[in-house]
Amino acid sequence: MRKRTKFKHFMFMLLALAMLIYAIPSISFKSGNGWITLFSVVWVAFSFLVIAAHWHVILGVDEEKKKTLERVRQHKLEQWQLKLSEESERSAGL
């Protein structure tokens, strides 16, 4: 992944973290407020989800997964080609 893209994700993650830090003191988690408490919990959970998603991209987990999948695809293609060549040799020998 390009360095500029990772920088962009890093900046967005910092922005989401700053918003979370700024909002935590004013968010109400008192049990008597009902909808307000529910909104607070959902908002904080969503903030953590956004931060985690950007962190996931920054760490490059998707790149490693793509490389692994490409190796598996290449191996399957080689097996398929080998099987096809064996079958063609068998049919040519008959």
Q: What are the sequence ranges of the domains in the chain?
A: 1-59, 62-94
Of residues 18 and 6, which shows the higher confidence score? 18
- pLDDT digits 0-9 by tens, 34-72: 888 888 889 999 999 999 999 988 887 777 788 888 999
Q: What pLDDT, on a 0 to 100 scale, did the predictor assign at position 1? A: 54
pLDDT at 18 over 80: yes
Q: Report the C-alpha gap between 51 and 58 in whole angstroms.
A: 11
- Is the predicted pLDDT of residue 26 greater than 70, yes or no? yes
State the Cα–Cα distance between residues 22 and 17, nearest whole angstrom. Answer: 9
CA distance 76 to 71: 9
